[in-house]
């Protein structure tokens, strides 16, 4: 059975590489800098949009971030209605509530303001508005038959890159299982990367979201479906993260560092939306489902452990990343090891733990089973992982490993 699964996985990887090359080479029209929000709103008015549903969360409303966006919309005569019911890991009922408000308010466009969760919810609200099908019928790849309502994005964190991806994730509120939606139609038409919206992020959020961007870039770079184009985007993202994440973490008001991190997240999003990700994400999704671990933090904790597992097959790519961040010299194996060490050093500098305190030994088997199932026909990883391999990786993530 294991040999058959390995063969099927390898066949999927080969198909994934072809699919990655066939995906439309499209990115959102993107505005960057301190005037990005006003520029996007002016362009939205040019689209002929009468009223936008702003999909966001209550924290951003209370912080006054959303008010800055609505003021810019008022200035160009675009109406708006705020749906702030999104929470981390948005659920079916939250998306459906947003759709009901969109229809009641007669909105003809959707604007996501926030991190990955508002963007995921906004994508699916816009898709449901035009497709007339329940979320369950849109799950999977290429199920969005009709173009969604006009969709725009203003990220307020630098991590998910959702403003430049074709993916959305929504959770079943009963089973807590994450449902994945992948379709080029889900990519926003326009995005605004405004560093002034990110200066108030707490250091811990800056760290976790920045490591999320790094994970996207690295997993894309070492994926078997990578192409010269995706590798170029991933390299830009990796370099920007290593050069700017510590500055953004230590000096939250550093606009140059904030803008660089926003660009890192954006480029990483462009890269991984064409290549997919890997076992880091498969493990992190289960940490989120079981323990409500923030996605960026879960990715960060899992990243060096999975790279250690994958480094033999991914050695050439990891060595090239070491060269990129100034850790080159010596053999390919030495450089690959130094890149992984550099990831750990970056984590230590921004106070990201190397283990997950919430992880329970009794959950390891089920997490491994679910992570391997998720990755099996979704992720073109450099090294195939069976359940026992994943369990061994998870044992190293335990905060209190067994005494030998």
Spatial distance between the Cα atoms of 246 and 113, rounded to a whole number of angstroms: 25
Q: Are residues 61 and 185 in the same domain?
A: yes
- How large is the average pLDDT for residues 5-32? 67
pTM for this predicted structure: 0.92
The predicted pLDDT at position 171 comes to: 86
Comparing 9-18, 44-53, 117-126, 268-277, the range with the smallest average pLDDT is 9-18
- Given the structure tokens 């995921």, which residue do they identify? 120
Question: Taking all residues of the chain, what is their mean pLDDT, rounded to a whole number?
Answer: 93
pLDDT in tens, 200-225: 999 999 999 999 999 999 999 999 99
Q: Are residues 193 and 207 in the same domain?
A: no
Whichever domain contains 14, its CATH number is 1.20.1090.10
Spatial distance between the Cα atoms of 299 and 213, rounded to a whole number of angstroms: 9
The percent of residues above 90 in pLDDT, for the chain, comes to 86
Model confidence at 24, pLDDT cuts 50, 70, 90, reads low
pLDDT in tens, 306-329: 999 999 999 999 999 999 999 999
pLDDT in tens, 342-362: 999 999 999 999 999 999 999
The predicted pLDDT at position 404 comes to: 40
Sheet holding 178-182, edge to edge: 140-141, 178-182, 167-171
Comparing 12-21, 94-103, 117-126, 261-270, the range with the smallest average pLDDT is 12-21
Whichever domain contains 164, its CATH number is 3.40.50.1970
Model confidence at 403, pLDDT cuts 50, 70, 90, reads very low
Query: Total structural domains in the chain?
Result: 2
Asked if the structure places residue 352 within a domain, the reply is: yes
Asked if the structure places residue 252 within a domain, the reply is: yes
The predicted pLDDT at position 10 comes to: 59
Model confidence at 16: pLDDT above 60? no
- How large is the average pLDDT for residues 53-73? 97
The predicted pLDDT at position 176 comes to: 72
Comparing 6-20, 42-56, 106-120, 326-340, the range with the smallest average pLDDT is 6-20
CB 239 within 8 A of CB 346: no
- Quick check: helix, strand or coil at residue 382? coil
Q: Are residues 274 and 226 in the same domain?
A: yes
C-alpha distances (whole Å) from 72 to each of 114, 120, 267, 300 are 16, 23, 26, 35
Range of the domain at 56: 33-197
Model confidence at 15, pLDDT cuts 50, 70, 90, reads low
- How large is the average pLDDT for residues 320-341? 97
Asked if the structure places residue 56 within a domain, the reply is: yes
Q: Are residues 193 and 211 in the same domain?
A: no
DSSP 148: P
Spatial distance between the Cα atoms of 55 and 153, rounded to a whole number of angstroms: 10
The predicted pLDDT at position 8 comes to: 60
Looking at beta carbons, which pairs linking 103-107 to residues 24 or more positions away fall under 8 Å? 103/129, 105/51, 105/53, 105/81, 106/51, 107/51, 107/52, 107/53, 107/81, 107/149
Model confidence at 245, pLDDT cuts 50, 70, 90, reads very high
Spatial distance between the Cα atoms of 192 and 32, rounded to a whole number of angstroms: 6
From 197, 213, 234, the end of a domain falls on 197
The count of other CB atoms within 10 Å of the CB of residue 104 is 10
Q: Are residues 74 and 178 in the same domain?
A: yes
């Amino acid at each position: 059975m294991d040999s058959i699964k390995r063969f099927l996985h390898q066949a999927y990887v080969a198909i994934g590489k072809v699919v990655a090359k066939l995906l439309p080479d499209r990115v959102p029209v993107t505005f960057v800098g301190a005037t990005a929000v006003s520029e996007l709103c002016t362009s939205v008015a040019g689209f002929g949009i009468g009223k936008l549903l702003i999909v966001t969360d209550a924290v951003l409303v209370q912080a006054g971030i959303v008010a800055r966006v609505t003021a810019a919309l008022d200035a160009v005569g675009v109406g708006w209605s705020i749906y702030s019911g999104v929470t981390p890991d948005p659920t079916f009922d939250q998306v459906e509530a947003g759709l009901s408000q969109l229809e009641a308010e007669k909105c003809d466009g959707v604007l996501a303001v926030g991190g990955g969760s508002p963007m995921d919810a906004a994508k699916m609200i816009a898709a449901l508005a035009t497709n007339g099908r329940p979320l369950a019928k849109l799950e999977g790849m290429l199920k969005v038959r009709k173009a969604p309502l006009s969709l725009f994005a203003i990220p307020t964190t630098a991590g998910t890159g959702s403003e430049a991806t074709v993916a959305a994730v929504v959770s079943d509120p009963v089973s807590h299982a994450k449902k994945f939606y992948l379709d080029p139609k889900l990519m926003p038409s326009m995005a605004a990367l405004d560093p002034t919206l990110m200066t108030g992020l707490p250091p811990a959020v800056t760290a976790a979201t920045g490591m999320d961007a790094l994970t996207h870039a690295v997993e894309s770079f070492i994926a078997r479906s990578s192409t010269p184009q995706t590798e170029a985007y991933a390299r830009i993202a990796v370099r920007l993260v290593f050069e700017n994440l510590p500055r953004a973490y230590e000096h939250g008001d550093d606009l140059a560092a904030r803008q660089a991190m926003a660009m890192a997240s954006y480029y990483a999003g462009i890269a991984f939306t064409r290549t997919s990700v890997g076992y880091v994400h498969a493990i992190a999704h289960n940490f989120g489902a079981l323990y409500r671990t923030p996605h960026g933090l879960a990715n960060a904790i899992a990243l060096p452990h999975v790279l250690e597992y994958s480094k033999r097959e991914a050695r050439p790519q990891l060595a090239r990343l070491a060269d990129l961040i100034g850790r080159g010299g010596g053999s390919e194996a030495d450089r690959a090891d130094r890149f992984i060490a550099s990831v750990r050093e970056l984590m230590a500098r921004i106070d990201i733990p190397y283990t997950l305190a919430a992880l329970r030994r009794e959950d390891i088997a089920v997490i491994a089973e679910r992570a391997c199932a998720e990755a099996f026909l979704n992720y073109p990883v450099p090294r195939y992982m069976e359940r026992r391999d994943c369990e061994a990786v998870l044992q190293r993530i335990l905060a209190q490993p067994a005494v030998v």
